[in-house]
Structure 1
Amino acid sequence: MRPTVQDVARHAGVSLASVDRVLNQRPGVRDKTIAKVEAAIAMLGYVKDISAANLAKGIAYRFAFVIPEGSNSFMRGLEREIEAVKQYSAVDRTEISIYKVPPFDGVALAAALDALDPKRYSGVAVVATEAVAVRDALNRLRRNNVPVVTLISDIPAFQADAYVGIDNVAAGRTAARLMGKFVGGRSGKVALVAGSMLVRDHVERRLGFEQVIRSDYGHMHCLPVIEAQDDSRRVQEYLSECFEAHSDIVGVYNMGAGNRGLIEVLSGNVQEGRTAIAHELTDHTRRALGAGILDAIIHQDAGHEVRSALRILRAKIEKKALVAGQEMIRIEIYVNENL
């Protein structure tokens, strides 16, 4: 059984009231008593149950998730994972709110963050767009002692309590390695599609991808990035125009969303040997992978990311250590054979 405060009091030879004062860092306790209690805690391996203490005090955690709205399938999957966690959050007196803002809109995101009352919220998780206004809004929360984690996409100019997501440079490098292996020795161009270069995850994926292509696959050339705002119709339109302008495209890498537009274009522009790699396993990318329209999918576990964000926020509030490696979001690779 886990040691209790009663065990600590008995082992230290002090009253329960003294143990409570030490645990909660209240004044009026002699140094000798503090030393006895701390020694007993170390000897017994006692860990304070913050959730139980909060329950007894009527304290509730309130967390806000600020995410993009729209048709992005991965973001809608992320929203479903947040809703799933909300169903069980009342058990440990946790309230979770979801706020949705237009994607890639720094002004709207900053306004949503500024609207969060720091006296109400215990922590914030945000899918961030790089903008000065967003950084300033996040800094305001931090100045008011509200822990913040960036989710999926980081803002290096803002010192968040944690970033929860895959290593996007490594993801881009992984996509390039797969592209090089699939394309082989054939020379040609690679079409790059992104949502926006205003989000760090897409910038880093492009960086990693082009690093590997330039260093190891000099027979391939990356075209300028098509920024399609993660909109399927724009992806379809812009990529179709790209195919018309370049007859020697041997590969396509979509580092953002809008995969339905990508699949539509590839379905109507069948070319032997053309490789297509995209991000996030969804219903439509799964079908396209099975049909051979896409060759590989790079994926991240949205449920893991939501749960990790909450664990990190709670740990920051409770000043508890996290389990090493538990919060690492791994890059997953899917091909037709391991669906």
Structure 2
Amino acid sequence: MKQDQEPLSNPTINDIARVAEVSLATVDRVLNARPGVRETTVKKVNSAIAQLGYVRDSAAANLARGRVYHFTFILPSNDNEFISLLETQITQLAQSLRHERTKLSFVRVAAFDPIELAEAIGAIDPQKVDGVAVFGPETPSVRDAIAHLKAHDVSVVSLVADIPSSERDNYVGVDNVAAGRTAAQLLGRFLSRAPGKVLVLTGSMLARDHLERRLGFDEVMARDFPHLAVLASLEGRDDPDLIQRLLPGAFEDNPDIVGIYSSAAGNDGLLRYFAQHPMPNRPVVVAHELTPLSRDALAKGVFDCVISQDAGHLVRSAVRIMRANSDRLPINLAQERIRIDIYLKENMPP
């Protein structure tokens, strides 16, 4: 290959083949990371690409091949308003992406059930699906199922709850440890300096996002608010009925509860308990995810603060990342960072 090749204003794959002294078919295999090309040849082609300043137009290439992207979201199946928001966002985005040759779909699996989740991941056909967004627990069976998809060149992102020990490409969601720290700082500042107890409602301590929130919460409470005793987590499995059944015993055993951190779903059970058990001094409540239910609780002063992440941003970010991974293009990490939003009664969006 000539080393003194001048950069072209608009290089093509024909130019790459000429400079690298290989066939067009070889260039195509290298660009699409297909097997069957010797490492020395791959280096020659990549060197020619860099030398010519070639930038691939993935959209044009996909259009020429008639390619249609198919991305699937695997979501937990339970009575959860936040999951419903994600489904709505997936459905709406799917309609707007039709003209961009992109199909979106979602499937539901039992919440906190790693076996069913692994089976759902394993049922994905790598020949028909380009990317999968997984919202579920981190277990060996789930990691193995993700590894199988990655071995077949399917992009995988973890959604809301990270699975960092797996071969997933990226995580899309808030920093859950930071979210827990934020909840503790808010709850501690809302409460007086008088001693009292804080109840933590969670879904499952086997769920990484719930565990990370609890870790961050405990860190700040112990450091900045040692006069408040944080009780063991009450695991409600994101089930409002179960939470409603568990709360009477918790308050009977701890009548001095002054604050509640609802770190997961199932807030309807907490609200039902409050409605059935009026209190002269209702505990301060910090909850997660701005849904119609939590929005109403904020407006009525039953919840004091809601920590949230934008469901639309989560879905759009997951799709952009899976598409970039499929096309082997760089990701704009600043654009894909999911913010921790803090809502009070006064600043709820319309």
TM-score norm. by structure 2 comes to 0.86
TM-score norm. by structure 1 comes to 0.89
1:177 Cα deviation from its structure 2 partner = 0.2
CA contact (8 A) 1:60 1:95 kept: yes
Which residue of the other structure, out of 270, 273, 292, is the alignment partner of 2:279? 270
Q: Counterpart of 2:98?
A: 90
The one-letter amino acid paired with 1:183 is: L
Indicate the SS of the match to 2:243: helix
1:25 aligns with 2:6: no
1:142 Cα deviation from its structure 2 partner = 1.4
Which residue of the other structure, out of 303, 306, 309, is the alignment partner of 2:315? 306
C-alpha change, 1:143 and 1:273, in structure 2 (3 Å) is same
CA distance in 2, matches of 1:32, 1:195: 53
Q: Counterpart of 1:228?
A: 236
Map residues 1-339 of structure 1 onto 2, 5 A cutoff. 7-8=10-11, 22=27, 25=30, 38-41=50-53, 47-267=55-275, 268-272=277-281, 274-339=283-348
CA distance in 2, matches of 1:30, 1:170: 43
The one-letter amino acid paired with 1:154 is: D
CA contact (8 A) 2:200 2:233 kept: yes
Post-superposition Cα deviations, 1:259-291, rounded to whole Å, max 9, x if no partner, equal: 111122233333426210100011111111111
The gaps in structure 1 that reach 5 residues or longer are: none
CA contact (8 A) 1:276 1:294 kept: yes
Indicate the SS of the match to 1:124: strand
Q: Which moved more, 1:315-324 or 1:202-211?
A: 315-324
CA contact (8 A) 1:172 1:206 kept: yes
Indicate the SS of the match to 1:63: strand
CA distance in 2, matches of 1:255, 1:39: 52
Indicate the SS of the match to 2:307: strand
The one-letter amino acid paired with 2:96 is: Y
1:35 Cα deviation from its structure 2 partner = 6.0
The one-letter amino acid paired with 1:25 is: V
C-alpha change, 1:99 and 1:34, in structure 2 (3 Å) is closer
CA contact (8 A) 2:307 2:342 kept: yes
1:31 Cα deviation from its structure 2 partner = 9.4
CA distance in 2, matches of 1:284, 1:75: 13
1:13 Cα deviation from its structure 2 partner = 11
Q: Counterpart of 2:5?
A: none
The one-letter amino acid paired with 2:30 is: Q
* Count of residues paired in the alignment: 331
Q: Which moved more, 1:47-56 or 1:61-70?
A: 47-56
CA contact (8 A) 2:158 2:168 kept: yes
1:235 Cα deviation from its structure 2 partner = 1.3
Indicate the SS of the match to 2:314: helix
1:23 Cα deviation from its structure 2 partner = 6.7
CA contact (8 A) 1:22 1:34 kept: no
CA distance in 2, matches of 1:235, 1:21: 60
CA distance in 2, matches of 1:33, 1:159: 28
CA contact (8 A) 1:298 1:334 kept: yes
Post-superposition Cα deviations, 1:61-114, rounded to whole Å, max 9, x if no partner, equal: 221110011210001100111111111222122222211111111111111111
The gaps in structure 2 that reach 5 residues or longer are: 1-7, 32-36
Q: Which moved more, 1:60-69 or 1:293-302?
A: 60-69
CA contact (8 A) 2:308 2:342 kept: yes
1:297 Cα deviation from its structure 2 partner = 0.1
CA contact (8 A) 1:183 1:274 kept: no
Percent identical pairs in the alignment equals 42
Measured on the aligned residues, the alpha-carbon RMSD in Å equals 2.8
